[in-house]
Amino acid sequence: MAEAHQAVAFSFSITHEGVDINYDIEVLNVVWQSGLRSWSRRIRRIRNNIANGIYPAPAWSYILCATVALVASYCGLDVTEACLDLTEQYVRLPPYLGFILVTMLIWSLTVVLWRYLLYLTFLYKGWMYETRGRGAKISIKTKLWGVFLHALKGRRPKLYSYQGSLPRLPLPPLNDTMTRYLQSVRPLLNDEQYDRMVKYSEEFKRGIGKKLQRYLWLKNWWATNYVSDWWEEYVYLRGRSPLMVNSNYYAIDALMANPTKNQASRAANLIHAAMLFRRGIDRQTMKPIMVQGVPLCSWQYERTFNTTRIPGIEGGKWLVLPVVEPVSDKLCGSDKLVHFSDSQHVVVYHKGRFFKLPVYYMARHLKPAELEVQLEKIINDPSPPQPGEEHLAALTASERSEWAKARMEYFSKGVNRNSLGLIEKAAFMVILDDDSYDYNPEDPSCLDRFGQAMLHGKGYDRWFDKSFNLIVAKNGRAGLNAEHSWADAPIIGHLWEFSIAQDFLYLGYSDEGKCRGSCEIELCPPQRLIWDLPAPCVATIDRCVLGAKSLLGDVDLHLLVHSAYGKGFMKKCRLSPDAFIQMGLQLAYYRDAGKFNLTYEASMTRLFREGRTETVRPVTMESCAWVRSMVDASSDPDNCKELLRKACQRHQRSYQDAMCGQGIDRHLFCLYVISKYLEVDSQFLKEVLSEPWRLSTSQTPQGQTGLLDVNKNPEYISAGGGFGPVADDGYGVSYIIAGEDLVFFHISSKASSPETVSLLCI
C-alpha cells in the first residue's frame, strides 16, 4: 500500500560503521509535491481573498492612484500635502512612507465608496418587474440603473468577488406578510375558515407578532441573512427522519446520448470532470452566475466537495420539520455538517466493498485514462465483502438517532473509525452499480427504474450522508444522489451540467469506448477499506436494511418525457414557461383530486447574500378561476385563454416577489422559531405551519454553464432530477424545461396512499 511505502520512505540505522541512511527519492518527491500543492492552495486562497476584498477595484489601481498623486504633486496640485504634514507632525514618518500611507488611505476610501455604490446598485430590484424581450418598454429609472451597473460592476469577477457587495435579505413588514398570506389562502378556505384566519392574524399583529418582529429585525440587522442559518438547522439538520427519499434528491443522465457502455471509462471521465469543477471553486476561476447583469450569491458552492453530514443524538427541545410537512414538537437531535478544506481521494463502492481511490499524483489530477485503470482494478477485484460491509451504508438510510448511536458505539475507534473517516473526508462518493439502466421510449418503466435507482438504489448502496454520490451503472449510464442540507438543487445542477459537458464535448472516448489517452505511470492499487463489525453492529445494519426496503418500497416514482411542445410554444403564447407549467400542474391536480390544495414551488433568494429558497404559492384566485373554466364544458375558449393569461401574470408576480425577498413563508418560519425560543404560543403560527403541502413542485435550472447549446446539442441536455414524496397523501413534482420542444417531469407519491397515483397524475 502507498501508506506503507511512504512510512519507510526515509529511515536510518546506527551501526558500528556509522549512520546508515535509507531513503526513496520517488516517495520523497511525492511528499514534496503534496506539500507544495498545499502551500500553493493557501497562497492562492490568500491572494483571492485580497482580490475579492477590494473588488471591483483591480489590485493595480493603487499604483494608478499613487502615480496620479505623484504627478499632481509635480504639477503643483498636491492633494496629499496636508495629510503628509500631519504624518510628519504626529506619526513622524519619513516623507516617502507618509506618501505611501496617505495614498493607501485615499485609495482605500475610494474602494470602499466604489463597493458601497455597487451595493446600492444591487439593492434596486425594479428591473425584475419589467417586461423583457424584443419591443419591451423599459423605464428611464431602470435604464439609468443599467448604466450605473455596467459602470460599477467591474471586469473578470471571480466566483466570490461580489459576495461582499450583495445586499442582505430584506425583512418584510409584518402587515405586508399578513396581507399576502391571507390572499394566498383565500381560494383554499370557505368563508367560515377564512374569517377564523383573519381573526387569528389580527390577534397576532396586535399582540405577540410585534414583539417577534422586533427580535427578527435585530437578527436581520446583526446576521448576514436572517433566514439561512435557522433554515439549515431546523428544517434539515434537526430532522430525525431518514435522509433517503425524505430529504436527498437525485439528478439523472442525458437520455438521448450514451457515449460509452464501459462503466470504468464513464466513471473516470465524470470523476475527472467533477475534480475540474472543484478546482474551479478552489481557485475561483468559475464566474458567478448572473441574472440580467446582477450576480447570484455563490456561498453555497463552498461545501460542494469534502463535505459530510454527521448524525447527532442530543439537540434542541423542539423541531420545525421541513416546510412540506406539518410542524410537531418532540425531543430531537441535531446533525452537523462537516466540511474539510481539502481531500485528495474519493471512496468507491462496488459489489459491497469500499475502496479509497486517490485522485492526485505528484500534485496534479489523475487523467481520465489513469483513473480508468484504477477503476478497472476495483471492478476486477474478486475479494468478497467483509461481514456486514455490503449493507453498511444502510445506516445512513436509517432514522438519524439510530445511526448516531451506532456510529458512536461501533465506529469511534480502531479500524472502523479510520475507514469511516476516509469516507467522510472523501471529496465525494462514487458508486459503481452492478445493474444497468437505460431509456427506452417504447417502455417507460425503464426510465422509472432509472430514476428510482438514482433516488434510493437498493437502500444500502448509497452513502446518503455525503454531499453527493456519483452513480455509474454497469452499462455506463450515470446520475447523482445529493444530500440537501448543504445547498439547494441549482448548485448540484450546475456541477452535473458541467460534468456532462466536459464528458461529451471535451474529454470524450475512443472508438472502443475507452478514455482518451493512456496511463504511463505505475500507480498503487486502490486501498480496500477494512472493517471489524461485531455481531450487534451487523444486527443493527440488517435492521436498517429492512427499514430502508420498506421506505423505498412505498415510493411511486414515474418520469415523463414530454415532447409534444416545450418552451418555444409557451413563449409564442407570450407566457412565462414556468407559470405555464405551474398552471398545467394545478389543472392536473384538480382533475385528480377534485379540489385545490396548498401548493409549494421553490424559488431562490440568491440575489441576496447567503440566500437559499423562498416559497411561491401557485394557488391564487386567478389560477382557480382558470382551472374551473377548463373543467367547465360550457366555457368560452377565448375566455379560458384570457383567464390563463391573468393566472400566469399573477404567478409570475408572486415568483418575482419571492426572489426579491418579499415572500411569505420564510418570514413566518423565522417568527415561529423566535416564538419557540421565547416559549410563547401563537394560534396563528400554529395554523400556518401545520398546513400540509400536498403538491410540492420545483424547477431544475439548465444552461448555468454556457457550455451546452440546447439548439446545437439537444441530446446532451440532462433529464433533470427529482425528489421523493413530500406528504403521505400528496405529490412531489420536479421538471426541467430542456429545450424548445422538450420538458422532463419527475412525479413521486406514496404507493400506500389511496389518494395518489403518480402514473395517473401524468
Tell me the catalytic residues. 484
Answer yes or no: are the C-beta atoms of 226 and 474 closer than 8 Å.
Answer: no
Q: Which residue is associated with the grid cell 462518493? A: 429
What are the residues whose beta carbons fall under 8 Å from the beta carbon of 490, sequence distance 6 or more? Answer: 604, 606, 700, 701, 704
> For the chain, how far is it from start to end, CA to CA, in angstroms?
53
56: preceding bond cis by omega (within 30 degrees): yes
Are residues 666 and 227 in contact, defined by beta-carbon separation less than 8 angstroms?
A: yes
CA 120/CA 98 separation, integer angstroms: 33
Q: Rounded to whole angstroms, what are the CA distances from 578 to 1, 306, 753?
A: 53, 34, 28
- Cβ atoms of 121 and 148 within 8 Å: the answer is yes
Cα dihedral 96, 100, 101, 102, rounded to 10, equals: 100
Q: What pairs with residue 252 in β-bridges?
A: 479
Cβ(544)–Cβ(536) below 8 Å:
no
At 652, which amino acid appears?
Q
Identify whether the C-beta of residue 601 lies closer than 8 Å to the C-beta of residue 656. Answer: no
Helix/strand/coil (H/E/C) assignment for every residue in 421-472: HHHHHCCCEEEECCCCCCCCCCCHHHHHHHHHHHHCCCCCCCCCCECEEEEE
Backbone angles phi, psi at 361, to 5 degrees: -145, 125
What sign results for the dihedral spanned by CA atoms 664, 666, 667, 668? positive
Which amino acid makes up residue 197? M
Closest CA to 337 of 472, 221, 487: 487
SS3 call for 179: helix
Q: How many residues does the chain have?
A: 762
- Nine-digit cell at 525? 492499487
- Residue 52: count of CB within 10 angstroms of its CB: 18
Q: Grid coordinates standing for 90?
A: 504626529
Grid cell, residue 22, equals 535509507
Grid coordinates standing for 389?
A: 460491509
Compute the distance between CA of residue 396 and CA of residue 544 in angstroms, rounded to an integer: 9
C-alpha cell at 483: 444530500
CA dist 507 and 269 (Å) reads 7
d(CA 265, CA 472): 10
> Residue 471's closest CA among 436, 498, 507, 444?
436
3-state secondary structure at position 404 = helix
CA angle 458, 461, 467 (to 5 degrees): 120
Kindly report the backbone phi and psi dihedral angles of residue 416, in degrees, each rounded to the nearest multiple of 5, phi listed first: -65, -40
Sign of the alpha-carbon dihedral angle for 707, 710, 712, 718: positive
CA 540 – CA 513 distance, rounded (Å): 42
Each residue of 111-127: b (16+ CB within 10 Å) or e? beebbeebbebbebbeb
Q: Give the cell for residue 265.
A: 471509462
Q: Closest Cα to residue 657, out of 620, 712, 695?
A: 620
